[in-house]
Structure 1
Amino acid sequence: MTPTSPARLTLAIQAALLLSFAGVASAQDAAPVAPDAGQAQTLDTVTVTGTRIKKAELESQVPVQVLTREDIDRSGFTSVADIVQNLTASGAALNTKFNSSGNFGFPPDGGGVGAGAATVDLRHLGSKRVLVLVDGVRWVNESSASGVGSSVDLNTIPLSIIDRIEVLEDGASSIYGSDAIAGVVNIITRRSIDGVKLDFNYGDYDDLAGGETYGADLGWGGSTDRWQWFLGASYYKQKQVVSSEYGPASVPVPGTGLANGSSATPQGRMVFQDPNTGAVYDITPNTGVADPQFNPGETGCERSDDFHCFATADRFNFAPYNLLLTPSERKSVFGQVRFDFTPTVSGHAKVLYNRRESANQAAPEPFFLGTDAGVYNDYAERTLVISALNPYNPFGFDLTTVGPDANLFLLGRRPVEGGPRRYRQEVNTWYASAGLEGMFEVATRPWSWDVNVAFSRSRAEQTNTGSYNIRRINEALGDPAACAAIAGCVPLNLFGGEGTITPEMLAFIQPVVRDESENKLSLFTANLTGDLVQMWAGPLSFAAGYEYRKYEGSYTPDPITVAGEYNGVPSGATSGDYDVNELYVEFNVPLMRDGWLGKSLDLSIAERYSDYSTFGGESTGKIGLRWQVADELLLRGSFAEGFRAPSIGELYGTLSRFDATLVDPCSGAGATLPECAADGVPPGYTQTNSQISVVTSGNAELQPETSNSLMLGAVWSPSFAAQAAWSDRLDIGVTFYRHTIENAIQAPDAQAILERCVFEGDPVACAAYDRSDRGQIVRFDDILDNLGTIRTDGWDVNVGWTLPEGDWGRLRFDWKNTFVGRYELVNESGAIEPRQPGVELNNSAIPEWTSTLVTDWRRGPWSVAWTVRHIDELTESCGGANGFDICDDSANDINRLPATTYHDLQVSWLSTAWAKGVRISAGVNNITGKDPPICLSCSLNGYDASTYDLPGRFWYARVGLDF
Structure 2
Amino acid sequence: MNTLRRRTLTQAVQLSLLLSLPVVASAQDAAPADATTLDRVQVTGTRIKRADIESQTPVQTLTREDIERTGLTSIGDIVQELTGSGSALNTKFNSSGNFGFSPNGDGVGAGSAQVDLRNLGSKRVLVLVDGMRWVNESSASGVGASTDLNTIPLALVERIEVLEDGASSLYGSDAIAGVVNIITRRNFEGGQVTLNYGEYGEGDGEQKSVDLAWGMSTERSNLFLGASYVDQEPVFSRDREQSAFPKPGTGLTGGSSATPNGRFIFFPGTPSTVCPLTDTDSNPATPPVAFCNITTPNGSSFPNGVNYPNDFIGFTTANRFNFSQFNLLMTPSERAGLFGQYRFHISDSMSAYAKALVNRRESVNQAAPEPIFLGPDAGTGNPFADDITISRLNPFNPFGIDLISSGPGANLVLIGRRPVEGGARVFEQKVDTQYFGTGLEGTLDIGERQYIWDVNAAFSRNEAEQTNFGSYNIRNINIALGDPAVCAATPGCTPLNIFGGPGTITPAMLAFIQPIVRDRSEQKLTQVTANISGDLFNIWAGPVSFATGLEHRSYEGFYQPDPLTVAGFYNGVPSLPTSGEYDVNEAYVEFNVPLARNNFLGKSLDLSLAGRYSDYSTFGGQFTPKYGLRWQVADELLLRATFAEGFRAPSIGELYGSDSRADLELNDPCLIGLDLTPPSGNPANCAALGVPAGAIQTNSQISVTTGGNPNLEPETARSFTAGFVFSPNLLSGTRWSDRMDFEVTYYRHAIEGAVQAIDAQTQLDLCVQTLDPLYCNGITRSSVGSINGFNNRLTNLGSIKTEGWDADVFWTLPETSLGRFKFTWQNTFVTGYEAVGAAGQVQPRTVGVEVNDSAIPDWTSNASLDWKLGNFNAAWSVRHISELEEQCVQFTVNFPVCSNPVEGTNTLEATTYHDVQVGYQFDWMKGLQLTAGVNNLFDTDPPICLSCSLNGYDASTYDIPGGRFFYMRANLRF
Work out whether the TM-score is over 0.5. yes
Question: What is the aligned partner in structure 2 of residue 82 from structure 1?
Answer: 77
Deviation sequence 1:150-202 (CA, Å, 0-9, x none):
11110011111100000000000000000000000000000131111111110
Q: 1:882 aligns with which of 871, 880, 893?
A: 893
> In the alignment, what sits opposite 1:298?
none
User: What is the 5 A alignment of 1:629-640?
Assistant: 629-640=633-644
Q: CA deviation at 1:660?
A: 1.2
State the alpha-carbon separation in 2 of the partners of residues 238 and 370 from structure 1: 41
Matches within 5 A, 1:577-616: 577-616=581-620
Equivalent residues of 1:731, 1:799 under 8 A apart:
yes
Q: Does 1:426 align with 2:427?
A: no
Matched residue type, 1:597:
L
Match among 267, 277, 298 for residue 273 of structure 1: 267
Distance 2:605 2:410 in 1: 78
What is the rounded CA distance, in whole Å, between the counterparts of 1:939 and 1:476 in structure 2? 33
Distance in 2 between residues matched to 1:395 and 1:572, nearest whole Å: 37
2:233 matches 1:239: yes
Aligned match of 1:478: 482
Report if the CA contact (8 A) 2:43-2:54 is conserved: no
| 2:972 is the alignment partner of 1:961 | yes
**In the alignment, which residue of structure 2 is the partner of 1:252?**
246
Deviations 1:599-656 (A, max 9, x none): 0000000000000011111110000000000011000000000100000000000011
**Aligned partners of 1:270, 1:63: CA distance in 2, in Å?**
60
**Identity value in percent:** 61
Residue 215 of structure 2 aligns with an amino acid whose one-letter code is G
* Structure 1 residues 31 and 754: CA distance shift in structure 2, 3 A: closer
State the SS of the aligned residue for 2:785.
coil
How far off is 1:293 after superposition?
5.2
In the alignment, what sits opposite 1:712?
722
CA distance in 1, matches of 2:54, 2:354: 30
Q: CA deviation at 1:396?
A: 0.9
Aligned to 1:325: 330
Structure 1: distance between partners of 2:854 and 2:367: 21
The answer to whether structure 1 residue 488 and structure 2 residue 492 are counterparts is: yes
Query: Is 2:122 the counterpart of 1:112?
Result: no
Q: CA deviation at 1:276?
A: 6.6
Cα distance in 2 for residues equivalent to 1:765 and 1:242: 39
Which of 810, 817, 820 lines up with 2:830 in the alignment? 820
SS of residue matched to 2:66: helix
Residue identity in the other structure for 1:721: L
Aligned to 2:6: none
Out of 367, 392, 404, which is 1:362 matched to? Answer: 367
Displacement of 1:489 in angstroms is 1.2
Question: What is aligned with 1:800?
Answer: 810
**One-letter identity of the residue aligned with 2:731:** A
For the residues of structure 1 that align with 2:444 and 2:316, how far apart are their CA atoms? 80
Counterparts of 1:470-619 in structure 2 under 5 Å? 470-619=474-623
CA gap of 1:45–1:338, structure 2 versus 1, over 3 A, is closer
Q: In structure 1, what is the Cα distance between the partners aligned to 2:306 and 2:35? A: 95
Instruction: Provide the secondary structure at the position in 1 that maps to 2:242.
Output: helix
Residue identity in the other structure for 1:91: G
Structure 1 residue 777, shift from structure 2 partner = 0.7
How big is the shift at 1:809? 1.7
Q: Which amino acid aligns with 1:246?
A: R
C-alpha separation between the residues in 1 aligned to 2:76 and 2:690? 48
Q: How far did residue 581 of structure 1 move? A: 0.4
Q: Secondary structure at 2:845's aligned position in 1?
A: coil
- Residue in 1 that maps onto 2:670: 666
Partner residue in 1 for 2:947: 937
Q: Alpha-carbon deviation of 1:474?
A: 1.0
Q: Does 1:788 align with 2:768?
A: no
Q: Paired residue for 1:48? A: 43
2:695 maps to 685
2:345 corresponds to 1:345: no
3-state DSSP of counterpart to 1:372: helix
Match of 1:653 in 2: 657
Task: Name the counterpart of 2:124.
Answer: 129
| Residues 531, 45 of structure 1: alpha-carbon distance in 2 compared, 3 angstrom cutoff | closer
Q: Tell me the equivalent position of 1:263.
A: 257
For residues 125-154 of structure 1, the C-alpha deviation after alignment (integer angstroms, 9 at most, x for no partner) is 000000000000000111111111111110
Q: What SS does the corresponding residue of 2:94 show, helix, strand or coil?
A: coil
Q: What SS is found at the alignment partner of 1:498?
A: coil
In structure 1, how many angstroms separate the alpha carbons of the residues matched to 2:52 and 2:420?
Answer: 62
| Residue type of the alignment partner of 2:436 | A
In structure 1, give the amino acid aligned to 2:231.
K
Q: Aligned residue for 1:215?
A: 209
Indicate if the aligned counterparts of 2:748 and 2:803 stay in contact, CA closer than 8 A.
Answer: yes
The answer to whether structure 1 residue 462 and structure 2 residue 466 are counterparts is yes
Kept in 2: contact 1:108–1:698 (CA 8 A): no
Q: Structure 2 residue aligned with 1:909, among 914, 920, 937?
A: 920
1:36, CA displacement in angstroms?
Answer: 9.2
Is the counterpart of residue 182 in structure 1 residue 193 in structure 2?
no
TM-score (norm 2): 0.93
Write the deviation string for residues 562-612 of structure 1: whole angstroms up to 9, x where unpaired.
000000000001111100000101100111101111000000000000000
Q: Secondary structure at the match of 1:57?
A: helix
Say whether the 8 Å CA contact 1:45–1:58 is kept in structure 2: no
Q: Give SS of 1:492's match.
A: coil
Contact persistence 1:48–1:57 (CA under 8 A)? no
Deviates more, 1:321-330 or 1:208-217: 208-217
Deviation track 1:332-377 (CA, whole Å, cap 9, x = no partner) reads 1100000000000000000000001110000000001111211111
Letter in 2 for 1:84: V
Residues 876-922 of structure 1, C-alpha deviation per residue, up to 9 Å, x if partnerless?
Answer: 1112210101011111111111111111111121233x211111111
CA distance, structure 2, for counterparts of residue 354 and residue 150 of structure 1: 20
Aligned to 1:204: 199
**Worse-superposed segment, 403-412 or 738-747:** 403-412
User: Contact 1:543 / 1:585 at 8 angstroms: preserved in 2?
Assistant: yes
Match of 2:277 in 1: none
Aligned to 2:94: 99
* Residue in 1 that maps onto 2:904: 893
User: Are residues 632 and 270 of structure 1, via their aligned partners in 2, closer, same or farther at CA, if it must alter by over 3 Å?
Assistant: same
Matched, 1:229 2:223: yes
CA contact (8 A) 2:192 2:973 kept: yes
Question: Post-superposition shift, 1:403?
Answer: 2.6
1:109–1:653 CA contact under 8 A, matched in 2: no
Equivalent residue runs for 1:916-931 within 5 Å: 916-931=926-941
> Which of residues 705, 729, 737 in structure 2 aligns to 1:695?
705
SS at match of 2:378: coil
**Counterpart-to-counterpart distance in 1, 2:698 and 2:203:** 36
Which is worse superposed, 282-291 or 370-379? Answer: 282-291
Task: Summarize the Cα distance change of 1:883–1:486 in structure 2 as closer, same or farther, 3 Å threshold.
Answer: same
Closer/same/farther in 2, CA of residues 36 and 335 from structure 1, 3 Å limit: closer
What is the aligned counterpart of 1:371 among 376, 385, 404?
376
**CA RMSD of superposed structures (Å):** 2.2
1:352 maps to amino acid: L
Q: 2: distance between equivalents of 1:778 and 1:538?
A: 69
3-state DSSP of counterpart to 2:243:
helix
Counterpart of 1:472 in 2: which secondary structure? helix
Q: What does residue 283 of structure 1 align with?
A: 294
3-state SS in 1 of match to 2:76: helix
How big is each residue's C-alpha offset from its partner over 1:82-133, in whole Å with a ceiling of 9 and x where there is no partner?
1100000000011111001000011122321111100000001000000000
In 2, distance between residues paired with 1:56 and 1:780? 56
Q: 1:313 aligns to what SS in structure 2? A: helix
- C-alpha distance in 1, partners of 2:459/2:33? 44
Preserved contact between residue 301 and residue 503 of structure 2 (Cα < 8 Å): no
DSSP 3-state at the match of 2:808: strand
- Answer with 73-82 or 744-753: which moved more: 73-82
Asked if 2 retains the 8 angstrom alpha-carbon contact of 1:672 and 1:683, the reply is no
Counterpart-to-counterpart distance in 2, 1:260 and 1:201: 39
Measure the CA separation in 1 of the matches of 2:953 and 2:872: 37
Q: What letter corresponds to residue 743 of structure 1 in structure 2?
A: G
- 1:237 CA drift (Å): 0.3
2-side partners of 1:36 and 1:237: how far apart? Answer: 47
Compared with structure 1, are the counterparts of its residues 34 and 692 closer, same or farther at alpha carbon in structure 2 (3 Å cutoff)?
closer
Superposed displacement of residue 763, structure 1: 2.3
Q: Contact conserved, 1:805 with 1:811, CA < 8 A, in 2?
A: yes
Structure 1 residue 406: deviation in Å? 2.5
